[in-house]
Amino acid sequence: MDNKFMDVNADKSRFSINQDVSSYLKYAKESRDQQAMMGDSSHYRSFAIIPDIISLEIYTNHGLNLHESEFMSNKEDVAKLKRIIKSEYPDLLTSNISRARG
């Protein structure tokens, strides 16, 4: 099964999903670069851009369902997600926050 976002492959013993995340990585880098040049005068700051394939991996490895309607209202889960993104997927960060801080 193919769609424009992900390739899904399945046979009797294996199931795999692949997604080209290069446009996400490019957007995140451009966002960080723009913030570095323009500064951060806004009270709102984007944290990260997360492709679907990464949200599936986070769900599988850490049990966080980013697509759950109540996810963003659970402060503990949001904090855990931020720690995961900073440590495992820092290239998806869209702001110049410290990658080392939790």
For the chain, give every domain's residue range. 20-92
85, two tokens: 């993104």
How far, in Å, CA of 6 to CA of 90, rounded?
22
For residue 100, the model assigns a pLDDT of: 43
Residue 74's CB: how many other CB atoms inside 10 A?
Answer: 13
Q: Are 85 and 50 in contact (CB under 8 A)?
A: yes
- The model's pLDDT over 34-52, given as tens digits with 9 standing for 90+, comes to 888 877 666 667 899 999 9
Q: Residue 10's pLDDT band (boundaries 50, 70, 90)?
A: confident
Q: What is the mean pLDDT of the chain?
A: 84
For residue 5, the model assigns a pLDDT of: 63
For residue 92, the model assigns a pLDDT of: 96
Calculate the dihedral angle through the C-alpha atoms of 32, 62, 100, 42, rounding to the nearest 10 degrees. Answer: 40
For residue 4, the model assigns a pLDDT of: 57
